[in-house]
């Protein structure tokens, strides 16, 4: 039986795997925002909106939460011996490796380049515009994100 596009979209938006992923990402971003508000790191409504939906870095890792919810819920729904679970697991491993390694190293390098650029700019040698220092995550931030995503993936799979 062939379903219409409208019926397929409806089924997509109630899919427990999709809902687990979206919920884990939103919960991680919400927790990140609340933590930043408690520490006084949010100074405007624009920053609050950006923190809630787009800002990366900090505790918990929303990337880790999303991919761990994806992997967990697919494991429950399709089985851990399925091809789609293997794909989700590989995606999980690449994402976690990226969060801990590549993105973190890029952030450290950007910070150092900004320090050098500011020194050159202060001395009048070179005009320098600072680059964005996108930080990766600490192991704790990734672990908490994975734990959150696993819990949400498990809840959506069992309920």
Whether 107 is covered by a domain: the verdict is yes
Whether 145 is covered by a domain: the verdict is yes
* More confident site: 60 or 102: 60
Whether 113 is covered by a domain: the verdict is yes
Q: Which of 7-11, 56-60, 79-83, 84-88 has the lowest mean pLDDT?
A: 56-60
Task: Give how many domains the chain has, as a whole number.
Answer: 1
Whether 102 is covered by a domain: the verdict is yes
Whether 4 is covered by a domain: the verdict is no
| Cα separation, 138 vs 156, whole angstroms | 27
Tens digit of each residue's pLDDT (9 = 90 or more) over 14-61: 899 999 999 999 999 999 888 877 877 777 777 766 766 666 667 888
User: Residue 55 contacts by C-beta under 8 Å, 6 or more apart in sequence?
Assistant: 29, 32
CA distances from 81 to 16, 91, 108, 153 (A): 19, 16, 39, 18
Whether 1 is covered by a domain: the verdict is no
Whether 67 is covered by a domain: the verdict is yes
C-alpha closest to that of 152 among 80, 86, 62, 81: 62
Rounded to 5°, angle at Cα 130 from 126 and 131: 130
Q: Residue 54 has what pLDDT?
A: 67
Structure tokens of 10? Answer: 């409806």
Residue range(s) defining the domain that contains residue 62? 18-158
Share of the chain above pLDDT 90, in %: 42
User: Residue 139 contacts by C-beta under 8 Å, 6 or more apart in sequence?
Assistant: 100
pTM (2 d.p.): 0.78
Whether 12 is covered by a domain: the verdict is no
């Amino acid at each position: 039986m062939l379903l219409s596009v409208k019926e397929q979209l409806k089924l997509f938006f109630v899919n427990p795997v999709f809902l687990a992923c979206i919920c884990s990402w939103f919960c991680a971003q919400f927790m990140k925002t609340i933590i930043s508000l408690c520490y006084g790191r949010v100074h405007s409504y624009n920053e609050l909106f950006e923190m809630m939906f787009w800002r990366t870095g900090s505790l918990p890792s929303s990337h880790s939460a999303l991919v761990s919810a994806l992997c967990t819920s697919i494991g429950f729904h399709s089985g851990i011996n399925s091809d789609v679970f293997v794909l989700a697991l590989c995606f999980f491993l690449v994402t976690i490796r990226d969060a801990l390694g590549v993105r973190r190293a890029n952030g450290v390098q950007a910070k150092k380049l900004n320090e050098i650029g500011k020194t050159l700019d202060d001395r009048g040698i070179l005009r320098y515009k600072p680059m964005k220092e996108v930080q990766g995550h600490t192991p704790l931030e990734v672990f908490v994100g994975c734990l959150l995503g696993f819990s949400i993936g498990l809840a959506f799979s069992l309920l």
